[in-house]
Amino acid sequence: MLEGMAHSQGYALYDAFLKRELKGLVDVLRDCPSVKLPLSKLFEVCPRLQPRYYSISSASGTHPSSLHVTCSVVRKDVTKKRKFEGVCSGYLSRLAVGDSVRCFTRSTAFKLPSERSTPVILVGAGAGIAPLRAMMMELDHVRSAGAKIGQVMLIFGCRRKDEDYIYEDEVLEWSRNGTLSHVINAFSREVCDATLNPKPPQ
């Protein structure tokens, strides 16, 4: 099995055995008992777990001593017997209030203009609404403090309004209080459903 996957023509076997079933190193060792790997060697071949990067979804002006992370928990039934769970998202979902997490922050070029009166178009097309929420929260904080902000347009898409529009209440409030000037939503699955299952004529 392993020799076949290592062959130059073994991609199809690799895809079927590992990639489609989302198997990790432990799964491979379990399914290939002929591999006798001492624990010391196992630590040598195990790759170091890489950090997971999430956009901060809160503004420091509103929450100076904390930060918010918007994370989708990855869980999938691979087979009737096997379930796959994201390493980091699964870990975060099991934390209790008061637990500690090791984390760090880093700078990004994805930020608001320094002049808050500059008009802004926020587009969440696939990357999610997390960083956009942080920006809208910051602009709302500036506006509520009496400063002038420019017109702000939010263009946000997700699959379904009742499943993925997770900050709808906040977006509606920012629309009412003047932080957001325009909101354009696109719910892709609802459009598909309407196209594939048109309503019968009245």
In the chain, what are the domain boundaries? 2-45, 120-195
The answer to whether 55 and 111 have CB atoms below 8 angstroms apart is: no
Per-residue pLDDT at 134: 94
Intervals of the chain under pLDDT 50: none
Per-residue pLDDT at 30: 83
Per-residue pLDDT at 162: 83
Cα distance between residue 136 and residue 139, in whole Å = 5
Q: What is the mean pLDDT of the chain?
A: 85
Residues in the chain: 202
Per-residue pLDDT at 46: 83
Per-residue pLDDT at 192: 58
Per-residue pLDDT at 199: 54
| Fold type of domain 120-195 | Rossmann fold (3.40.50)
CA-CA-CA-CA torsion sign (7, 11, 12, 16): positive
Cα distance between residue 146 and residue 89, in whole Å = 38
Per-residue pLDDT reduced to its tens digit, 131-190: 999 999 999 999 999 999 999 999 988 888 888 888 999 999 999 999 999 998 888 877
Q: What backbone torsions phi and psi does residue 95 show, to the nearest 5 degrees? A: -70, 150
